[in-house]
Amino acid sequence: MSKSVPSKSLTPPAIQARKGGQPIVCMTSYTAPVTKLIDPHVDLILVGDSLAMTVYGMTSTVGVTQEMMIAHGGAVARSASHACVVVDLPFGSYEESPAQAFRTAARVMAETGCAAVKLEGGAVMAETIHFLTGRGIPVMAHIGLTPQTVNALGGYGVRGRTEAEAAAIMADAKAVADAGAFSVVIEKTTESLARAITNAIAPPTIGIGASVACDGQILVVDDMIGLFTDFHPKFVRRYAEVAQSIEAAIRDYASDVRERRFPAAEHVFGDARP
């Protein structure tokens, strides 16, 4: 079912207006049940293409399709009533031209009911961000480490440690801000660069591995609840160890079935009474 008019109480302009105020709380989500748990507590939910790793067992976000983002984006948008829902545009679906980006973003918004889209890239995407925002599509930008271009970057290392790289990322930040992005994700940069960017641009910055200097923070839900355990990035604080709880529950269930302790009397249907 498509839902083309967003009815969230927090809109992209409301998020933008939070610049410099109370920190903006953001998290990823990919499914309806997790969204229902997250929604009352956060300001913005990102249906991130990190679902490549957290849901689909891929090793990077490069193979994510529009269909995957739309299926998960719809589940999340239908389940959130408070937070601003943003859906990632996948690799290859927007970089070719502003017109290609508009077609993809319009489809994603119409078929999911999300309030905005996110795309990766700085100065090189400024023309596209200007094109989209001028045509009614709110855009969250994403600079610093941009995982969709991991093959060109050569890995997932910290960005902006050299003067030249820091200057380029600052230029990216100014370009996407001037182009009309309502917020800017800064991923895995030094604290001093994140602070300088936050002070330099009008839209709020949302950090992931970019220090407390940002206007808000985002984490991948599976990382912070300890469900995705293949690796533990330095910038993630684990607030729960859900994988351990799931494993313990499955172990107990398996043992109950093998020992005929499950199903018990309360799980069994008796004969029909006349």
Among 95, 165, 187, 247, the active-site one is 187
The neighbouring-strand residues paired with 159 are 189
**Site for ligand KIV contains 128 (CB under 6 A):** no
DSSP conformation letters of 127-141: HHHHHHHTTT--EEE
- 125 vs 218, which CB is nearer to ligand KIV? 218
CB of 223 to ligand KIV, least distance (A): 9
Q: How far is the CB of 118 from ligand KIV (least distance, A)?
A: 7
108 within 8 A of 138, measured Cβ to Cβ:
no
Token readout for 28 is 């990823």
96 is catalytic: no
Enclosing H/E stretch for 116? strand 116-120
| Least spacing, CB of residue 64 vs ligand KIV, in Å | 9
Kindly tell me which of 49 and 172 has the beta carbon lying closer to ligand KIV.
49
Q: Is 28 a binder of ligand KIV (CB under 6 A)?
A: yes
Q: Residue with CB nearest ligand KIV? A: 48
Chain length of the chain: 274
Instruction: Round to whole Å and give the CA distance between 112 and 128.
Output: 21
- Return d(Cα 123, Cα 202) in angstroms, integer: 16
Q: x-or-dash pattern for ligand KIV, window 186-225, by CB under 6 A?
A: ----------------------x---------x-x-----
Nearest Cα to 18, choosing from 42, 34, 46?
42
The C-alpha atoms of residue 146 and residue 121 are separated, in whole angstroms, by: 7
Which of 126, 185 has the CB closer to ligand KIV?
185
Instruction: List C-alpha distances in Å: 110 to 105, 114, 116.
Output: 8, 8, 11
Site for ligand KIV in 29-68 (CB under 6 A): 46, 48-50
Beta pairing, strands 44-47 & 84-88: parallel
Closest CA to 224 of 233, 234, 237: 237
Shortest distance in whole angstroms from residue 69 CB to ligand KIV: 10
Site for ligand KIV in 135-164 (CB under 6 A): 142
185 belongs to the binding site for ligand KIV (CB under 6 A): yes
Least Cβ distance, residue 47 to ligand KIV (angstroms): 8
Contacts with ligand KIV, residue ranges (CB under 6 A): 28, 46, 48-50, 88, 142, 185, 208, 218, 220
